[in-house]
Chain A
Amino acid sequence: MSLLELNNISKIYGDLKALDNVSLSVDTGEWVAIMGPSGSGKSTMMNIIGCMDKPTSGAVLLDGKDISKESAKSLTAIRRDKIGLIFQQFHLVNYLTAVENVMVAQYYHSMPDEKEALEALERVGLADRAKHLPSQLSGGEQQRVCIARALINYPEIVLADEPTGNLDEANENIVLDIFKQLHKDGTTLVVVTHDPEVGEVAQRTITLEHGRIVKDALNANFKEA
């Protein structure tokens, strides 16, 4: 059984079909890149998978459970328990230190545990920046804090929308290396990008255009790390 399944979902804004009858299934441990030009519906799809939005029609199965009809309250709970989110703009709380930003996710999930949060920062190579405020960190470092925060509650699926969009080459590589490590550890990854280099390293690439999937292919060059 696949971890995530989209069955004929559409998202319609007025007469604009941001997603048009899309079906897709993602298995546990898969690393999927979603590509496509601007406005093709990538973020819309991410929001629906990430339980931050509901499709106009169609069913979204996460762990075999249809989440498209759930109330806002239970969507919050699903987000908290099953999903790790990584954003293009990082979205760190700017008055909290790096480690506190990770602990916030623990706090709303269960119990903040500073030791565990520090370990998570260590895994993304930021142990020595734990007490810094976001304004004292570089973009790449902020994105790594964001990744540490997304991973801290052991989500079933990690969603990243343009995670490297604001990063330079060197930082992009650091992030991709982290993704490779995550994939190796068995984490399910869905990464939205319009950067071919980021798309290429994934296991499978899905291309959207005008709200439809126009291509869904396994990546020939993909190497298990």
Chain B
Amino acid sequence: MFFRMIRGAFTRQWKKMLMIALTIALGASLATAMLGVMMDVGDKVNQELKTYGANITVVPKASSVIGNLYEVEGGESGETAYLREDELGKIKTIFWAFNIVDFSPFIDTEVTLPDGAGVKLVGTWFNHHLALPTGEELDTGVKNLRTWWSIEDGRWIDEGLDVYEPNCVMVGSVLAEREGLRVGDWLHVSAPYGENDLIVCGIFDSGDDADEQLYAPMDVVQALSDTDGYLTSIEVSALTTPDNELAERAAKDPSSLSIADYELWYCTAYVSSICYQLQEVITDSVASPVRQVADSEGAILEKTELLMVLITILSLIGSALGITNLVTASVMERSNELGLLKAIGAKDGAISALVLTEVILTGIVGAAIGYFAGLGFAQIIGHTVFGSSIAMKPLVLPVVAVLVLVVTLAGSVPAIRMLLKLRPAEVLHGR
């Protein structure tokens, strides 16, 4: 009988029920999309930070101390201390050599342009071909490390090709704009230890300080600064294992570990053990993970998540209000019928159960529609905002289900209260 009544109510009131279902679907779809994106993007970024984000910089010991004390960038104060270029190959001989994906040395110096402007000239590898003592061969350099650079004009310096034109320079977009430099232009630079004519072969946009700098091959810059065979820093990109408690203890002071712990730590690809091993092979160096990038991405991620949580909450409140209106209107419209049921002896609980069952069944339909629509929204958001598709976590479904249930029940409260107050005598005598 209960089932017949529910079915009857649905066939007769399907338009109203559809409205309620759509209201719920709207809330559910937003909740699904937001939760799906949130959980997946959070995971993705974390994973990316864990596998790729562990960039390590190696600087001379003296420079690192000064840099840390005065909080200035390592390169500028490190004039007196250098790393040795001939030790670079050793990077690929450490225990975790296979986890070193890319690395590149840097040497930088201040140069003066013809108009008197002082500019930082950075010497580095672009796509350096390396034949290692182990017999392994490797192409490495900033072309791999600076994946976010976009070439606005011209091309990357190609070390294989530029043997024939060794004076190529790449110019940051801001600097190029200011100096009116274009691909093919000659640029005269003078430095304390010499001067040179460089040809602009590419203009890049990095979105950071590098936009105001010049990038040229190592030997060009070493010649200008009289630092042949020396480096100011090395950047290393390594695949690492996420830190745990052991890694944190070791990062503070490896000598505090027991022998067993030390071996476990040393033989695990923690970023701290890779740093430690780099310091072992590069004389007088300090290797440390670059965390700033990860941290700021993390902060943006947190803000984005907060925003999505807020959108979810607001949309659910919106649905709850919509449901409140619709369910209350429906109970009002049916006050005769519900009053009659009371008059013939239905208990308040029985009538509430009837109305709630209707609403919840509608809610389930709405939630199902909303969930599938939300899957679609999530993909749209994934592609337009994050440029990747979203893999729905299984947790999304139960969370959305619980949220919809709570919202639907909360939205029905005023209608149920009205229903309880309904007095059969008042509706049945046609006043």
Contact across chains for B340 and A91 when beta carbons are under 8 A apart: yes
Contact assessment for B344 and A108 in the assembled complex, using a CB-CB cutoff below 8 Å:
yes
Please, which residues of chain A bring their CB within 8 A of the CB of B9?
95
B11 touches A95 (CB 8 A): yes
Query: Residue B8 contacts which of A95, A112, A149 (CB distance < 8 angstroms)?
Result: A95
Counting contact residues on chain B (CB < 8 A from A), the size range is 20 to 34
Min CB gap A108→B, angstroms: 4
Question: Which B residues are CB-close (under 8 A) to A161?
Answer: 429
Q: How far is the CA of A18 from the CA of B344 in the complex (A)?
A: 25
- Cβ of A79 and Cβ of B343 under 8 Å apart? yes
Q: Is B116 an interface residue (CB 8 A)?
A: no
Q: Is the CB of B350 within 8 A of A108?
A: yes
Residues of A within 8 A of B4 (CB): 96, 100, 103
CA distance A88 to B340 in the complex (A): 13
State whether B345 touches A79 (Cβ < 8 A): yes
Distance between B103 CB and nearest chain A CB, rounded to angstroms: 76
* Residues 332-364 of B at the A interface (beta carbon under 8 Å): 336-337, 340-348, 350
Interface: A52 (CB within 8 A): yes
B267: Cβ under 8 A from any A Cβ: no
| A100:B342 contact, CB within 8 angstroms | no
A2 within 8 A of B: no
Q: What is the CA–CA distance of A89 and B347 in the complex, to the nearest angstrom?
A: 22
* Bound-state Cα–Cα, A4 to B345, Å: 19
Query: Smallest Cβ distance from B349 to chain A, in angstroms?
Result: 10
The answer to whether the Cβ of B12 comes within 8 Å of any Cβ in the partner chain is yes
Are A81 and B429 in touch, CB under 8 angstroms?
Answer: no
Give the residue name and chain of the A residue nearest to B336 (CB).
Answer: A91
Q: Which residues of B contact A112 (CB under 8 A)?
A: 1
Contacts A76-B347, A95-B8 hold; do A107 and B1 have CB atoms under 8 A apart?
A: yes
Asked if B425 contacts A47 (CB within 8 A), the reply is: yes
Query: Which residue on chain B has the smallest CB distance to residue A150?
Result: B344
Give the residues from 176 to 214 in chain B that come closer than 8 angstroms, CB to CB, to chain A: none
B2 at interface (Cβ–Cβ under 8 A)? Answer: yes
Asked if A77 lies at the interface with its beta carbon under 8 angstroms from chain B, I say yes
Partner of A104 from B13, B344, B425 at Cβ < 8 Å? B344
Residue-wise interface mask of A (85-120) relative to B, using a CB-CB cutoff of 8 A (1 in contact, 0 not): 101110101111000100111111100100000000
Q: Across the two chains, which residue of chain A brings its CB closest to B342?
A: A76
Query: In whole angstroms, how far apart are the Cα atoms of A91 and B3 in the complex?
Result: 21
Instruction: Count A interface residues, CB 8 Å.
Output: 31
Least CB distance from A24 to B in Å reads 19
Contact with B along A48-81 (1 / 0, CB 8 A): 0010110000000000000000000100110111
Interfacial residues of chain B within 44-92, with CB under 8 A of chain A in the complex: none
A109 to B345, CA, bound (A): 7
Q: Contact: B8 with A89, CB < 8 Å?
A: no
Q: Does B5 contact A (CB under 8 A)?
A: yes
Q: Would A149 and B343 be within 8 Å (CB), given that A87-B429, A107-B2, A161-B429 are in contact?
A: no
Cα A106 to Cα B345 in complex, Å, equals 10
Residue A21 lies at the interface, judged by CB distance under 8 Å to chain B = no
Chain A's nearest CB lies how many Å from the CB of B25?
24
The reply to whether the CB of B424 lies closer than 8 angstroms to some CB of chain A is yes
**With A93-B340, A108-B345 in contact, do A52 and B5 touch (Cβ < 8 Å)?**
no
A8 within 8 A of B: no
Partner of A149, one of B2, B344, B346: B344
Which secondary structure dominates chain A's binding surface? helix
Per the 8 Å Cβ criterion, residues 119-165 of A in contact with B are 149, 161
Q: Does A23 contact B (CB under 8 A)?
A: no
A93 lies within 8 A of B345 (CB):
no
A171 to chain B, nearest CB (A): 18
B132 at the interface (CB under 8 A from A): no
Query: Contacts A79-B345, A85-B343, A108-B345: A100 and B425 contacting too (C-beta < 8 A)?
Result: no
Which A residues are in CB contact (< 8 Å) with B128? none
Q: Establish whether residues A88 and B430, one from each chain, have CB atoms under 8 Å apart when the complex forms.
A: yes
Whether a CB of chain A sits under 8 angstroms from the CB of B428 is yes
Contact A85 B344 (CB under 8 A): yes
Instruction: Determine whether A43 belongs to the interface, using a CB cutoff of 8 Å to chain B.
Output: yes
Q: Given contacts A87-B428, A87-B429, are A94 and B337 in contact (CB under 8 A)?
A: yes
A145 CB, min distance to chain B CBs, angstroms = 12
Q: Given contacts A94-B337, A96-B8, A104-B341, is CB(A52)–CB(B423) below 8 Å?
A: yes
Contact among A47, A73, A93 with B347 in the assembled complex (CB-CB below 8 Å): A73
Shortest beta-carbon distance from B309 to chain A in Å? 41
Question: Once the chains are docked, how many angstroms separate the CA of A107 from the CA of B9?
Answer: 16
Tell me which residues across on chain A come within 8 A of B424, comparing CB atoms. 52
* A192: nearest chain-B partner, CB-CB: B429
> Once bound together, how far apart are the Cα atoms of A112 and B4, in whole Å?
11
Task: Chain A residues near B425: list those with CB within 8 A.
Answer: 47, 50, 52-53
Selected A-B contacts with CB under 8 Å, 12 pairs: A73-B347, A76-B346, A87-B428, A87-B430, A89-B430, A91-B343, A93-B337, A93-B341, A95-B11, A96-B4, A108-B347, A112-B1
17 further contact pairs, Cβ within 8 A, besides A106-B1, A108-B346: A52-B425, A53-B425, A73-B348, A76-B342, A76-B347, A80-B345, A80-B346, A87-B428, A87-B430, A89-B428, A93-B337, A94-B337, A96-B8, A100-B1, A100-B8, A107-B1, A108-B347
* The 4 residue pairs across chains A and B that have the minimum distance between CB atoms: A80-B345, A95-B8, A95-B12, A52-B425
Interface, chain A (partner B; CB < 8 A)? 43, 47, 50, 52-53, 73, 76-77, 79-81, 85, 87-89, 91, 93-96, 100, 103-109, 112, 149, 161
